[in-house]
């Protein structure tokens, strides 16, 4: 329910409680019977209870929203700190990968394709990014595998990434 809807509903409930209270006073002055006054009192009381729970719910919702916004901001700050801290390592990894690709005698186009393969892009996505055909991307990836002596994308990724596992962590057999 939107804030406008909640506000409108609260105003209607307040109006009902207020009008029922005035009606009860008017009816009492005219000598209305007890059952009539009690039933109108129940309606007024119900509107006040409904208004209370509506406002309480809105207050709780706002508190939760504030909390979630603060959490999101904290996570944003934490993510930025991680990016700044990891940047030098990522740049070092990128330079090390580039050095290995150079040692395999890859052309600059093949290096670009190799980096995109390592990022997990499909051959179609690579072709789109590089404004070539998928056939060209496929041929360049084949050339990369031939020059490196690796059999495919998974071996290419493993070549660079397997040592990134935390020391002491071993995969289950």
CA-based angle 121:123:125, to the nearest 5? 55
Q: What is the pLDDT of residue 82?
A: 87
pLDDT digits (tens, 9 = 90+) for 16-59: 999 999 999 998 899 889 998 999 999 999 999 999 998 898 89
| Residue ranges per structural domain of the chain | 1-76
For the chain, list residues with pLDDT below 70. Answer: 165-173
pTM: 0.51
pLDDT of residue 165: 66
Supply the pLDDT for residue 173: 55
Closest CA to 130 of 109, 152, 156, 101: 109
C-alpha dihedral, 32 to 38 to 43 to 44, nearest 10°: 80
Cα 140–141–142 angle (5° rounding)?
90
Q: Which pLDDT value is given to residue 166?
A: 63
Measured between alpha carbons, how far is 116 from 106 in angstroms, rounded to an integer? 14
- Residue 3: predicted pLDDT: 78
Mean of the per-residue pLDDT values for the chain?
90
């Amino acid at each position: 329910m939107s804030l406008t809807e909640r506000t409108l509903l609260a105003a209607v409930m307040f109006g009902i409680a207020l009008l029922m209270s005035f009606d009860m006073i008017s009816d009492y002055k005219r000598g209305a019977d007890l059952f009539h006054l009690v039933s109108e009192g129940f309606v007024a009381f119900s509107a006040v209870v409904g208004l209370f729970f509506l406002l309480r719910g809105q207050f709780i919702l706002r508190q939760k929203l504030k909390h979630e916004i603060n959490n999101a901001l904290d996570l944003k700050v934490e993510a930025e700190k991680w990016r700044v801290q990891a940047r030098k390592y990522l740049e070092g990894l990128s330079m090390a990968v580039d050095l290995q690709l150079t040692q395999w005698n890859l052309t600059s186009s093949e290096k670009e394709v190799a980096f995109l393969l390592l990022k997990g892009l499909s051959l179609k996505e690579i072709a789109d990014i590089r404004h070539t055909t998928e056939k060209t991307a496929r041929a360049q990836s084949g050339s990369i595998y031939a020059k490196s002596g690796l059999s495919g994308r998974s071996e290419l990724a493993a070549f660079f990434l397997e040592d990134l596992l935390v020391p002491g962590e071993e995969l289950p057999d």
